[in-house]
């Protein structure tokens, strides 16, 4: 599975990057925090409504999110801070915990995940990650 982070959806919706290839599209999934972040940032209109429906049709990991995933996200944040990494978004910790609990790789454009992967088993999708 390939969990697409909000940072990539923003780039895709803005036309600033091409999407995944056909092999990757079959693997794409989402999770509750990504759905919230993406939908709250959509502009109004028919295109947004259509995209919203498409996003909601994707497989959703950890739905509902177990309490253990929240505590793992908190531990990611605490361990990062202990090791000197500034994780700017606790949502990124939660998304990383969901990905790890589900065995998914994260497609992102966000340095938080690069830092999280330095001290956790988080898998980043190498062919689709972006230089920061």
CATH of the domain at 79: 3.40.50.1010
pLDDT at 130: 44
Quick: pLDDT tens for 108-127.
999 999 999 999 999 998 65
What are phi and psi for residue 127, nearest 5 degrees?
-75, -15
Domain that holds residue 108: 2-128
Contacts of 126 (CB under 8 A, 6+ apart): none
Our count of domains for the chain comes to 1
Q: Are 80 and 115 in contact (CB under 8 A)?
A: yes
Question: Cis omega before residue 64 (within 30°)?
Answer: yes
The average pLDDT across 30-48 equals 94
Q: Are 115 and 121 in contact (CB under 8 A)?
A: no
Q: For residues 104 and 102, what is the distance between their CA atoms, to the nearest angstrom?
A: 5
Higher pLDDT, 47 or 20: 47
Does residue 66 have a pLDDT over 50? yes
Question: Closest Cα to residue 90, out of 106, 104, 73, 109?
Answer: 73
């Amino acid at each position: 599975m390939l969990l697409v982070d909000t940072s990539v959806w923003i780039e895709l919706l803005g036309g600033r990057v091409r999407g995944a290839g056909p092999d990757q599209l079959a693997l794409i999934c989402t999770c509750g925090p990504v759905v919230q972040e993406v939908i709250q940032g959509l502009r109004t209109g028919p295109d947004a409504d259509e995209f919203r429906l498409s996003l909601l049709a994707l497989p959703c990991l950890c739905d509902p999110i177990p309490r253990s995933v929240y505590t793992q996200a908190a531990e990611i944040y605490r361990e990062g801070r202990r090791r000197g990494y500034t994780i700017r978004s606790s949502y990124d910790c939660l998304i990383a915990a969901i990905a790890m609990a589900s065995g998914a790789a994260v497609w992102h454009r966000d340095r938080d995940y690069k830092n999280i992967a330095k001290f956790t088993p988080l898998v980043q999708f190498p062919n689709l990650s972006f230089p920061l």
